[in-house]
Copies of this chain bind each other. A is one copy, B any other.
Amino acid sequence: MTATTEWIAVDWGTTRLRTWAMRGDEVMFEASSDKGLSRLTPEDYEPALLELIEPWLGPDPVDVLACGMVGARQGWHEAPYSTVPVHTLSEPPVRVPGTDPRIRAFVLPGVRQLKPADVMRGEETQVAGFLNRNRNWDGVICLPGTHTKWVQVSADEIVSFRTFMTGELFELLSKGSILRHSVTDGWDAGAFSTAVDDVLSRPEALAGQLFGLRATDLLEGAAPGVARARLSGLLIGAELAAARPYWLGQQIAVIGAPQISQTYAAALDRVGAQAALQDAQAMTLAGLSAARAMIGATK
């Protein structure tokens, strides 16, 4: 097995650790675990990684390129932020000292913005991967997830970005609030569209519409999937209302998992905006591959 692995790609976030054995840009093997940062103390990082990549290691040291929250101060090894406006991959990956001699591990820097204050760790690698494959692309990249990012890109630079807690809010409200009694399985696409329209036309009314999901269910009974789709539509609609300066009149790419990317595309369609969907994993690997070029290929 080991002969085939030229380098190892790692996406290490708050909840997941994902690894890929790579030959050039080709994935040979992959492995993942739930050992994200939220479950790890400093001495846990290397064992958690080796547990997954051990089968891919040989006698010669192999480069390991890691992006995500792993580079935060409370992560494996801090990789300081670059500051916008910044060329993607302008700062080299930071070597993690004192590792097992079979690996040379590097952590990619995150990106920060001073005004308004904002930070990202991981998405900058996906943006770098996208730009690496789409030279001279200007526009805005939306990266939906727990904390969705909107990133303005021009001349291969991240010009500005903004983070929205939309995914986390949806989880909290649908699982931890009074709305959990009404947010059942299923998905009513019409209810989603109506909710997006409602918020975009009157964003100031949002706060009064959340409890309405519960009250409507109590008084009228809700059809399956209506409350779930409407809650999602209200929250994504509020995000689009706030992110309007980003997407209005811009070329748009969405980098994310297929389902959430399609949901964002459907919301953008309500405002007449077309988005090109890009696979998140492919962009992560392309970004890590580009970062690898900065440290020089090893054997």
* A interface residues (Cβ-Cβ under 8 A, vs B): 112-114, 116-119, 147, 162-166, 168-169, 172-173, 176-179, 203-212, 215-216, 218-220, 235, 238-239, 241-244
Specify which chain B residues have a CB less than 8 angstroms from the CB of A216 in the assembled complex: 117
**Complex: A163 Cα to B238 Cα, angstroms:** 19
A-B contact pairs, 19 of them (CB 8 A): A113-B215, A119-B218, A119-B219, A147-B211, A163-B211, A164-B207, A164-B208, A164-B210, A165-B179, A165-B210, A166-B207, A169-B173, A172-B172, A172-B176, A204-B242, A204-B244, A206-B242, A207-B238, A207-B239
Interface of A: prevailing SS = helix
CB-CB nearest in chain B for A181: B74
Q: Which of B116, B173, B208, B235 sits near A172, CB closer than 8 Å?
A: B173
A244 to chain B, nearest CB (A): 7
A124 to chain B, nearest CB (A): 14
Specify which chain B residues have a CB less than 8 angstroms from the CB of A163 in the assembled complex: 208, 211-212, 215
**Complex: A66 Cα to B25 Cα, angstroms:** 69
Specify which chain B residues have a CB less than 8 angstroms from the CB of A173 in the assembled complex: 169, 172
Q: Which 6 A-B pairs have the closest CB atoms?
A: A203-B204, A208-B242, A163-B211, A117-B215, A207-B242, A204-B241
**Complex: A112 Cα to B163 Cα, angstroms:** 38
CB-CB nearest in chain B for A114: B219
CB atoms of A178 and B205 under 8 A apart = no
Specify which chain B residues have a CB less than 8 angstroms from the CB of A162 in the assembled complex: 208
**Complex: A83 Cα to B116 Cα, angstroms:** 47
